[in-house]
Amino acid sequence: MNTGIKHARHLDAQDELKHYRNEFYIPKDTIYFDGNSLGLLSIRAEQAVDTIMESWKMHAIDGWTEGTHPWFYLSEKLGKMSASLVGAKPEEVIVTGSTTTNLHQLVASFFQPEGNKTKILADELNFPSDIYALKSQLKQKGLDPEEHLIQVKSTNNTLDTQDIIDAMTDDVALIVLPSILYRSGQILDMQTLTKEAHKRGILIGFDLCHSIGSIPHQLIDWGVDFAFWCTYKHLNGGPGSVGGLYVNEKHFGNDPGLAGWFSSSKEKQFDMDHTLTPADDASAYQIGTPNVLSAAPLLGSLEMFQEAGINKIRQKSLQLTNYLMKLVETELVGFTFTIANPRNDNTRGGHVFLEHPEAARICKALKADGVIPDFRNPNGIRLAPVALYNTFEEVWQMIQILKTIMNEERYKKFENKRGVIA
């Protein structure tokens, strides 16, 4: 494989998605490879916020039902715009809440311990907040997390499908797993895991935070019971932007575990009845009033995903990460970097995960030289070239900068420990 600068520019010239880069605000003199933590602001997202603000200015309270994007129906509209990204029907998706509040809602709704089925199956590599929520839900039901939360063991930052299946014992009532592991970028076999869970009468859901907007999903075809996600990573919704969730239509008609004002059927909501009539779709899993201003950027961002198509985005993402890994192998020989993410395209998400004993100070040195990576304790460097706004030439440039940092030992100027926010 040719890896030089000319090859990088050739790949950029052939890139069908290259024009989208012009729609994003790229920090000056910066190579931004942290889009799997926080995506960049786009012009369309900015304009969408302006549109919602103008609606507030012009319509005041009537903005709930008037204007270009009536707020009363905004969560449902954004759900429809998101549905193709997860392979769901529009009515099965709602943009609402946050990752953790949505997880609390879904576990409260679907975890119904009965008889000997009292355990939740998770894993030891998931993002901490998911585990916090699962333990909290167990405590709410008077169950000891030490006994009733099963966490599948890992090997080298990855999970084995058979190990997860073997943990699907008769006492498991619910399974919650990540679609992509946030460190290594491993994609779990959601289809197989769902099939095996249902064989055993277990409901299963997935955290899509690191996969939505990065890889295609087929949640309906796979039969997944529920899913939830954030929108500020690959979806570029902005810091703290509103989350999303999916509920398979076979579960429609059940009361949400945590009922609230916007759980209601739209037609009944302003009857002000003290008995809830839940919406007959995923809208029932909303709780409070939509965070309209935090949802607004998604109107612009999701529009680009609809245009580009997740399959083309995935194709370029794989090209970018394959090119990055090849450069690591050819340009960084002798510097003890380990590629710790899956190499196979079918099991690798949207980032490359490098391990190095000096990872924290190397990340600081990269930032000092204009490259924005992501450090993961204790020795991980995540590099996420994003299909909509990163280029192959940037990948090549980043590797040359990293090579210089290692050759000149520039990283030794920094302390090998993480900052307050890693």
Q: What is the DSSP string of 188-210?
A: P-HHHHHHHHHHTT-EEEEE-TT
Instruction: For residue 12, say whether it is annotated as part of any ligand binding site.
Output: no
The catalytic residue among 375, 382, 392, 410 is 382
On whether both 77 and 162 belong to a single domain, the answer is yes
Instruction: For residue 29, say whether it is annotated as part of any ligand binding site.
Output: no
The pLDDT of residue 400 is 98
Instruction: For residue 289, say whether it is annotated as part of any ligand binding site.
Output: yes
Domain count, the chain: 2
Final residue in a domain of this structure, among 307, 338, 355: 307
pLDDT digits (tens, 9 = 90+) for 234-243: 999 999 999 9
The catalytic residue among 44, 119, 135, 233 is 233
Element (H, E) at 121: strand 119-123
The catalytic residue among 15, 123, 207, 374 is 207
On whether both 327 and 204 belong to a single domain, the answer is no
On whether both 205 and 324 belong to a single domain, the answer is no
On whether both 313 and 297 belong to a single domain, the answer is no
The catalytic residue among 33, 206, 232, 389 is 232
Answer whether 216's CB lies under 8 Å from 210's CB. no
User: What is the pLDDT averaged over residues 313-335?
Assistant: 98
Instruction: For residue 130, say whether it is annotated as part of any ligand binding site.
Output: yes
On whether both 23 and 129 belong to a single domain, the answer is no
CATH code for the domain in which residue 323 is found: 3.90.1150.10
Any domain includes 66: yes
- What are the residues facing 150 on neighbouring strands? 121
The catalytic residue among 72, 73, 127, 414 is 127
What confidence tier does 1 reach under pLDDT thresholds 50, 70, 90?
low
**Cis before residue 290, ω within 30 degrees of 0?**
no
Final residue in a domain of this structure, among 274, 307, 340: 307
Residues of the chain with pLDDT > 70, as a percent, come to 99
On whether both 323 and 298 belong to a single domain, the answer is no
Question: Structural domain of residue 205, as residue ranges?
Answer: 47-307
pLDDT of 25 > 70? The answer is: yes
On whether both 248 and 356 belong to a single domain, the answer is no
pLDDT of 405 > 70? The answer is: yes
| 382 is annotated as an active-site residue | yes
The pLDDT of residue 359 is 97
Question: Which pairs with CB-CB distance under 8 Å and at least 24 residues apart come from 277-283?
Answer: 280/252, 280/253, 281/91, 281/92, 281/94, 281/249, 281/252, 282/79, 282/91, 282/92, 282/93, 282/94, 282/245, 282/246, 282/247, 282/252, 283/75, 283/76, 283/79, 283/94
pLDDT digits (tens, 9 = 90+) for 153-181: 999 999 999 999 999 999 999 999 999 99
CATH code for the domain in which residue 265 is found: 3.40.640.10
Overall residue count recorded for the chain in this entry: 422
Instruction: For residue 127, say whether it is annotated as part of any ligand binding site.
Output: yes
Q: Judging by DSSP bridges, how do beta strands 149-152 and 119-123 pair with one another?
A: parallel
| 207 is annotated as an active-site residue | yes
Instruction: For residue 56, say whether it is annotated as part of any ligand binding site.
Output: no
On whether both 77 and 126 belong to a single domain, the answer is yes
On whether both 237 and 324 belong to a single domain, the answer is no
pLDDT of 92 > 70? The answer is: yes
The token pair at 69 is 């994007």
The pLDDT of residue 422 is 66
